[in-house]
Amino acid sequence: MNSLEAETRRVVSKLLEEKRVDGVIAPRRHQGCTGPHLFQRVEEVEKLVLTPKYPVANLCLLIQTKHPEAKLGVVVRGCDERAIRELGKLGQIDVEKLVLIGLACTEEEAVRCGCSQPYPSRVDIGVKVEGEKPDTKVAPIKEKNLLERLKFWSENFSKCIKCYGCREACPMCVCEECMLEKWFWVKGGEIPPEIPTFHLIRAYHMADKCTGCGECEAACPVGIPLTSLYLLILEDVKKLFGYEPGRDERISPLLTTLEEAPISE
Amino acid sequence: MTKEKEFKPKILVFCCNWCSYAAADLAGVSRLQMPPDFRVVRVMCSARVRPEYVIKAIARGVDGVMILGCHIGDCHYISGNHRTKKRFAVITKLLEHIGVNPKRVLVDWVSAAEGHRYQELVTNFVKTIKELGPNELGGLSS
């Protein structure tokens, strides 16, 4: 791990010294805590760390909104790169202005996330390891019959305290007006929120966006297996349209109409 | 005396203004016999039916939802029914994953001249829903 950190620090320092970027987004160890930071000076770089992982795609959006001209370097893992690509397609961030520093996750990290592609398209730091099969997470749920599934999910959904943690942590949730806050869709002042409306609306919105980073599940204070639900639906979208969010250069087929092969009845 | 109460399903039928609503109208004026368990909602296009409407209907205890549009290629808005088809393919899968029978949501196409087809679809759908019984989520949400 330490050798990876040393390597990352070297690459980031080089980028900053050569003035190829205005700043680099990466996690920083500061006052005993780890959080995201925009490294702009070479002296700071010694505080750069790599664990725990932090979703950086949202930060690119945040910084680009205020400073559209800034040239940013970003230390990206596989999931971050997929999120950045997806946000680029949605017109949220300017991918041209980003310099991606690819970081491959270690095998231990890949297993912990159950990630199917724990490496970005170009690996600058670390060694590429093959991902977990997504089946390990979703297979136990797929084996259940309809009634067992209903019981499993309604038990889980009824734990929800409507903290919106899943939405806040999600790198893909960028809508300025969220449907889940509108009383027309999900009535306010109720805990748990309407079952399963709240979670199904979110799952539908994730069907063509989710990059499988697992931040929603990690953020959930009551431990609802949200990533498993999204992985299940991602698998279907792949089967139906051959589309994988974050890995495909195409725009989501749910947003287009006649661009792809004609649909028959 | 204690005759078992017959299950009367609540079924929503979304009809597009240009084809399937006209077909429903035709079925009506032709006096075709249909079960009385469905309520028709007229929308301008089948793509007007947000998937969230169907999620909410099912969550609120509606037993079945039909979305009827123009045949593929005949959409008044050229490509509306393409969207419908893609969206509801995802929604039925999603409902299946959380344990709702995917047969409760049906997307089909009826042209303005197909009154008989409309009758057939609705009759079959009501039959399927009666066989499935009340909505699994019925007791969970108000």
Residue B115 has pLDDT above 90, yes or no: yes
Which amino acid is located at A130 in the chain? E
Question: DSSP readout, B68-95?
Answer: EEPPTT--TTSSHHHHHHHHHHHHHHHH
pLDDT at residue B136, rounded to an integer: 85
Residue of A203, A243, A246, A253 lying closest to A227 (CA atoms): A203
Which residue is closest to B83 within chain A, CA to CA?
Answer: A257
Rounded to whole angstroms, how far apart are CA atoms A217 and A200? 15
Residue B142 has pLDDT above 70, yes or no: no
Distances (CA, A) of A215 to A173, A264, B46, B98: 12, 38, 35, 21
Q: What percent of chain B is modeled with pLDDT above 90? A: 80
The DSSP symbol for A27 reads: E
The DSSP symbol for A122 reads: S
Tokens (6 digits) for A176: 């300025």
Residue A54 has pLDDT above 80, yes or no: yes
What is the pTM assigned to this prediction?
0.90
Task: Write the pLDDT tens digit of every residue in A62-109.
Answer: 999 999 999 999 999 999 999 999 999 999 999 999 999 999 998 888
Burial of B51 (0-12, 13-18, 19+ CB in 10 A): buried
Per-residue pLDDT, averaged over A1-11, amounts to 86
pLDDT at residue A233, rounded to an integer: 93
Starting at the earlier edge strand, list the strands of the sheet with B11-16: B38-43, B11-16, B64-69, B105-109
On whether any CB of chain A is under 8 Å from the CB of B132, the answer is: no
Rounded to whole angstroms, how far apart are CA atoms A211 and B31? 52
CB contact under 8 A, A195 and B93: no
Dihedral, CA atoms, B111, B112, B113, B119, nearest 10 degrees? 80
Task: Write the pLDDT tens digit of every residue in A170-202.
Answer: 999 999 899 999 999 999 888 889 888 999 999
pLDDT at residue A254, rounded to an integer: 85
Q: Report which listed range, A233-242, A250-259, B39-48, is most confident.
A: B39-48
Question: DSSP readout, B1-24?
Answer: --PPPPP---EEEEEETTTHHHHH
CB contact under 8 A, A229 and B96: no
Residue A263 has pLDDT above 80, yes or no: no
pLDDT band at A114 (very low <50, low <70, confident <90, very high): confident
pLDDT band at A136 (very low <50, low <70, confident <90, very high): confident
pLDDT at residue B140, rounded to an integer: 46
Rounded to whole angstroms, how far apart are CA atoms A16 and A39? 9
Residue B12 has pLDDT above 90, yes or no: yes
pLDDT band at B4 (very low <50, low <70, confident <90, very high): low
Which residue is closest to A196 within chain B, CA to CA?
Answer: B59
Phi-psi region of B101 (alpha: psi -120 to 50; beta: other; left: phi over 0): beta
Task: Please list every residue in chain B whose beta carbon sits closer than 8 Å to the beta carbon of residue A185.
Answer: 52, 56
Rounded to whole angstroms, how far apart are CA atoms B42 and A177? 27
pLDDT band at A234 (very low <50, low <70, confident <90, very high): very high
Task: Write the pLDDT tens digit of every residue in B48-84.
Answer: 999 999 999 999 889 999 999 999 989 999 889 899 9
Residue A1 has pLDDT above 90, yes or no: no
Residue of A115, A158, A165, A159 lying closest to A137 (CA atoms): A115
Task: Please list every residue in chain B whose beta carbon sits closer than 8 Å to the beta carbon of residue A201.
Answer: 52, 55
Q: How far is CA B51 from the centre of its chain?
A: 12
